Amino acid sequence: MLKGWEGINIAVSNPEQFVRFYSEQLGVPLVFEGHGGYNGAKLAFSRNDPGIIVWNKENNDVSTQGPTEFVFRADDLDKTYEQLKFNGVAIQPPFMADWGGKELRCADPEGNSILILDIEY
């Protein structure tokens, strides 16, 4: 039986650039460096949390196709926006979405959409 969710596999053309963007610019920890060249690297907030598992598109290891959107949550989108802008992320200011919550959007170097929500559970 299933025991948990490990993460999302994504095949990218430049794993090193992808990992550096998420770890250095967005601040998502790199919990596993992969099997060489960041192939199989895992970005997550702990080794046991679900994460983004990165594969080299050139190796044909993973059949990931189409656009992907990663969804994160933050405590304060205004501060998050300022920090990401400072880190060099091309990003627009946060806005109120039609559903009533605040959102912040940007994209990674592969063109995948990143949605950051300011929500409380």
As for how many domains the chain has, the answer is 2
73 and 59 in a common domain:
no
Question: Does residue 36 sit in helix, strand or coil?
Answer: coil
* pTM, entire model: 0.75
| pLDDT tens column, 7-55 | 888 888 899 999 999 999 999 999 999 888 998 899 999 988 999 989 8
Is 71 in the same domain as 28?
no
The dihedrals phi and psi of 68, each to the nearest 5 degrees, come to: -125, 145
What confidence score (pLDDT) does residue 94 get? 94
- Reduced to 3 states, what is the DSSP secondary structure of residue 3? coil
* The two three-digit tokens of residue 9, written as one number: 């596999």
Q: Are strands 7-12 and 30-32 parallel, antiparallel or unpaired?
A: unpaired
| 56 and 75, same domain (yes or no) | no
Q: Give the tens place of pLDDT for each residue, 77-93.
A: 999 999 999 999 999 99
Do 61 and 3 share a structural domain? yes
Domain extent, residue 28, equals: 1-65
- Domain shared by 72 and 108, yes or no: yes
118: domain CATH number is 3.30.720.110
The more confident residue out of 64 and 39 is 39
Residues 39 and 72 in one domain: no
117 and 58 share one domain: no
